[in-house]
């Protein structure tokens, strides 16, 4: 299972048309090895970036057919964490893959240079407080920004003319 978690070619590159926070437009999501996998679970992903005295942590997981990304900001000097109110929602396809004879997990299934729309929506507190609320209900009742992104399985692709939606 360790081999599955550490494969470089399993990283997923999200390129956002507009910066998410602090001019961050690229996320290189990888499997979160701190989350124990159980049979038929959904893999959780993460990325971390350091800009000046802040660490930006992006954690992604599955809920109700959506890939949800939470953003946390840690001020290294003050040793203080800020939970960003906006979350990122992307409707993605998941595929059940075999790890070994006893273990199968759902991971994000994409084709290179796939184009998607994502929602930037201020509902983190709602999700944290209400685990039983469906994402579709929150999407319907919340103010949201809709933007574009490109998802790729590799780190090397050309951004030129990919945002011709």
- The predicted-structure confidence for 70-128, as pLDDT tens digits, reads as follows 999 999 888 888 878 889 999 999 999 998 899 999 999 888 888 999 999 988 888 88
Burial state string for 75-84 with b = 16 or more CB within 10 A and e = fewer than 16: eeeeeeeeeb
SS3 category, 3: helix
pTM of the model: 0.85
Q: How many domains does the chain have?
A: 1
Inside any domain, residue 160: no
> Higher-confidence residue: 156 or 123?
123
Inside any domain, residue 164: no
Inside any domain, residue 161: no
Burial (0-12, 13-18, 19+ Cβ within 10 Å), 90: middle
Give the mean model confidence (pLDDT) for residues 132-138.
83
Query: Residue 163: what pLDDT?
Result: 45
Inside any domain, residue 159: no
Inside any domain, residue 88: yes
Q: 95 to each of 16, 49, 65, 106, 161, how far by Cα in Å?
A: 23, 28, 12, 5, 29
Burial state string for 120-149 with b = 16 or more CB within 10 A and e = fewer than 16: bbebbeebeeeeeeebeebeeeeebeebbb
Inside any domain, residue 162: no
Inside any domain, residue 148: yes
Residue 14 has pLDDT above 80, yes or no: yes
Inside any domain, residue 17: yes
Query: Residue 115: what pLDDT?
Result: 94
Judge contact between 30 and 46, C-beta under 8 A: yes
Judge contact between 139 and 145, C-beta under 8 A: no
Beta strands across the sheet bearing 41-42: 41-42, 104-109, 93-98
Domain encompassing residue 122: 2-152
* H helix runs in the chain, sequence order: 2-6, 124-129, 135-141
SS3 category, 80: strand
pLDDT over 70 percentage in the chain:
87
Query: Residue 99: what pLDDT?
Result: 87
Give the mean model confidence (pLDDT) for residues 142-154.
87
**12 closest CA partner among 162, 114, 160, 146:** 114
């Amino acid at each position: 299972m360790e081999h599955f978690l550490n494969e470089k070619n399993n990283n997923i590159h999200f390129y956002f048309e507009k910066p998410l926070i602090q001019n961050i437009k690229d996320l290189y999501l990888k499997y979160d090895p701190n989350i124990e996998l159980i049979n038929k679970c959904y893999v959780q992903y993460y990325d971390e970036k350091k800009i000046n005295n802040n660490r930006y942590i992006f954690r992604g997981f599955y809920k109700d057919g959506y890939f949800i990304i939470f953003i946390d900001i840690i001020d290294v000097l003050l040793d203080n964490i800020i939970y960003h109110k906006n979350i990122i929602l992307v409707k993605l396809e998941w595929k059940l893959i075999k790890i070994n004879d006893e273990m199968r997990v759902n991971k994000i299934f994409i084709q290179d240079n796939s184009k998607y729309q994502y929602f930037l929506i201020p509902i983190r507190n709602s999700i944290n407080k209400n685990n039983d609320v469906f994402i579709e209900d929150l999407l319907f009742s919340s103010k949201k920004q809709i933007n574009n992104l490109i998802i790729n399985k590799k780190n090397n692709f050309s951004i030129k003319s990919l945002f011709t939606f």
